[in-house]
Amino acid sequence: MNETTQIDVTHSPTSTLRRELKVAEIVFMVVAAAAPLAAVAAAVPLVFTFSGTSGAPLYFLLIGALLVLFSVGYTRMSKSVRDAGALYSYVQHGLGRAVGLGGANLALAAYACGLTALSTYFGHVVGEPFEEHFDLHIPWGVGSLVLVAVVAYLGYRKIDISAKVLGFFLIAETLIVIIFDIAIIARGGDSGLSLRPFDPSLLGQGTVGLGLLFTFTSFFGFEGTAVFRREAIDPDRTIPRATYIAVIGTAVFYALSSWAIAIGGGVDKVAAAVAADPQSAVPALASKYVGPIFVDVLQVLLITSFFASALTFHNVIARYMMTMASRGALPRPLAAVHPRHLAPSNASITASGIVGAAVVVFLIAGVNPVGDAYVWMNGILTFGLVALLTLTGLAIVVHFVREADEPARRVLLGTSILSTLGFAGVLWATVDNFALVVGSKSAAIAVEILMLAIFIAGVLTAIVLKFKAPDRFAALAGATPSSGTD
């Protein structure tokens, strides 16, 4: 099939997606999901805090290398998985329809909780400037629901509008972090420039598992490149390029920024200093090395960073729902594409409704937007995606075991096995330290049981369909390349 034509999603001549996304636009969307500024201001200090060392730059390069290894098999296998189901499509292709539907459930739950976490945190962050500068208190729920509404509007429309909005905000927040980094490096940091944060011996110190876990969460979103396959120009080239650029660019960016924070706070004392007040660490350094006004700019762009991340998560959820609906795993109307906006608008509205309802429930229940709602929802996102990436890695290994005629089979198998073992290690660290992530052992057990139940529910649903509705079970596999998925 010609890769530049429109794509029929619901087998209706009026429901089509248009191929118009270039590499840069996909990169903007998936990198925005990681919220670079928010990661540098919030996640990087946590890596210093929980690792207990100045080795955060090394952690980011290590996880970046792991994701590059994964991307080798991931992008090569994309030629055999030619739809917008992303990770769960890889799982079902390699491990079967039942496990695939379980993976789909994991993905939807994880991304929906991630978007809810971003919405509640956004409501808290957006109110701070008004209270600080105008002595005006705005309930966090107001900001959260405004975010849900704006994201719903943009998600309902053509994807290129979202790409342009995300591109603008991503460039702005990237520039502000680069200015922050250059200011610290140019002034020599606290006690001179040092490469000590890159010393491999630091991996033997502190709490390595938690350090790697919080580092890993800063990369969430890179896997979303394949979700936009149906809207990418020449996807066999666009998706791999976007994936590698997103992974490598993000790893280098975070490594450089965390190095700047390490030398800015003092290599020998940064971990203890940041641990004392992680939320204020980056603003304090910004005030010291750039100036107080810069902190205000940082605060404003931190708000837009959360917004950009929320918009990307929303777009990914909508396309997951669209693909699952086109396979009969969700109600068929969710597979419809708006005839004018050329977007999965029904799925977009549904995703916004679910997240909006969750925000309202938290608001009515009087839940703390950061200490409770954000921590719980982000914990589910972390657990779900790490588990899903581990399953995906295993599916890629199985795929290349079967592909005896693959020219680079040994290389692909080697990189895929190494990355899968790496993901399994991060998953183990997640389970082992999950109580610290969500606040208590009982909360950790509850989340783990919930995610396991969600996965098992998908597996059991597929098994029931196999015997009760064979046609629907067959549809779970999606279309083959020859049938025009692309």
Range of the domain at 139: 7-483
Say if residue 11's pLDDT is above 50.
no
51-60, 118-127, 274-283, 336-345 — which is least confidently predicted?
336-345
Q: pLDDT value at position 434?
A: 85
Greater confidence, 422 or 343?
422
Q: Which residues are CB-neighbours of 94 under 8 A, at least 6 positions away?
A: 394, 395, 396, 397, 398, 399
* Mean pLDDT computed over every residue of the chain: 83
pLDDT confidence tier of residue 400, bands split at 50, 70 and 90: very high
Quote the CA–CA distance of 369 and 331 in Å, as a whole number: 32
φ, ψ dihedrals at 16, nearest 5°: -135, 150
Q: Is residue 2 included in any domain, yes or no? A: no
Q: pLDDT value at position 478?
A: 63
Read off the pLDDT of each residue in 182-203 and give the average, rounded to a whole number: 90
Q: Is residue 36 included in any domain, yes or no? A: yes
What pLDDT, in 10s, does the model give residues 353-381?
A: 999 999 999 999 998 887 788 878 888 88
Q: pLDDT value at position 15?
A: 45
Read off the pLDDT of each residue in 66-91 and give the average, rounded to a whole number: 82
Read off the pLDDT of each residue in 100-115 and give the average, rounded to a whole number: 91
Q: Is residue 260 included in any domain, yes or no? A: yes
Q: Is residue 407 included in any domain, yes or no? A: yes
DSSP helix/strand/coil, 290? coil
Quote the CA–CA distance of 58 and 206 in Å, as a whole number: 13
In this structure, the number of other CB atoms found within 10 A of the CB of residue 104 comes to 30
Q: pLDDT value at position 374?
A: 84
Read off the pLDDT of each residue in 28-37 and give the average, rounded to a whole number: 78
Q: Is residue 1 included in any domain, yes or no? A: no
Q: Is residue 112 included in any domain, yes or no? A: yes
Q: Is residue 387 included in any domain, yes or no? A: yes
Tokens of 46: 């946590």
Estimate the crossing angle of helix 208-217 against helix 409-432, to 10 degrees: 110
Read off the pLDDT of each residue in 73-84 and give the average, rounded to a whole number: 78
CA atoms lying within 13 Å on the CB side of residue 117: 21
Residue 117: give its domain's CATH number. Answer: 1.20.1740.10
Read off the pLDDT of each residue in 41-53 and give the average, rounded to a whole number: 85
Amino acid at 72: V
Instruction: Decide if 413 contacts 77 (C-beta within 8 A).
Output: no
pTM for this predicted structure: 0.83
Question: CA 4, 10, 16, 20 torsion: positive or negative?
Answer: negative
Read off the pLDDT of each residue in 68-88 and give the average, rounded to a whole number: 80
Say if residue 9's pLDDT is above 50.
no
Look at the chain and report how many structural domains it folds into: 1
CA atoms lying within 13 Å on the CB side of residue 276: 7
Determine what percent of the chain is predicted with pLDDT higher than 70: 89
